[in-house]
Amino acid sequence: MAVEYVMIFALGITITVGAIAAFESLSSEIASTSQDAEQEAVVSKINSQIRHLSSLDEGTVEKQLELPEHIGGSSYEIILEDNTVTVMARNEEFTKYMNNTAESYDLEGSVSGGEVTLFRTDNTYTITEG
């Protein structure tokens, strides 16, 4: 009889440990998917604002953007260079090319999330903090 209780207890412990391990794995996957979606949203917002600024008259134009302070619970970096917009968060990057056959974009700058300003001077787009 005591052996049966020990076996039932051991089986219960095994099931509990398995459920916790499965939940941890699922939790990590959900966090990763959420981070990917947040990175893509930030890149898309910046891309659309660059395209908007490019449609305005020549000269210097600026646009302030309010972006999330954190992605996936940690700080992140936005990098504009070589006709691409990249968001780096937790050593993972999401990059999108500014595909426009009619215009090439000269992009420059690197900032953290939060409030940023996009400047366009002629065909050069710069991102700065604040």
Residue 80 is classified by DSSP as: E
Q: In whole angstroms, what is the distance from residue 15 CA to residue 99 CA?
A: 51
Residue 76 pLDDT grade (very low, low, confident, very high; cuts 50, 70, 90): very high
Segments in the chain forming alpha helices (H): 2-54
Both structure tokens of 76 = 């992140």
Count of the separate structural domains present in the chain: 1
Burial group, residue 15, by CB count within 10 angstroms (0-12, 13-18, 19+)? exposed
At 6-31, the pLDDT tens digits run: 777 777 788 877 767 666 665 566 55
What domain range is 34 assigned to? 2-129
Are the CB atoms for 94 and 110 separated by under 8 Å? no
Looking at residue 23, its amino acid is F
**Would you say residue 113 has pLDDT above 60?**
yes
The pTM of this model reads 0.72
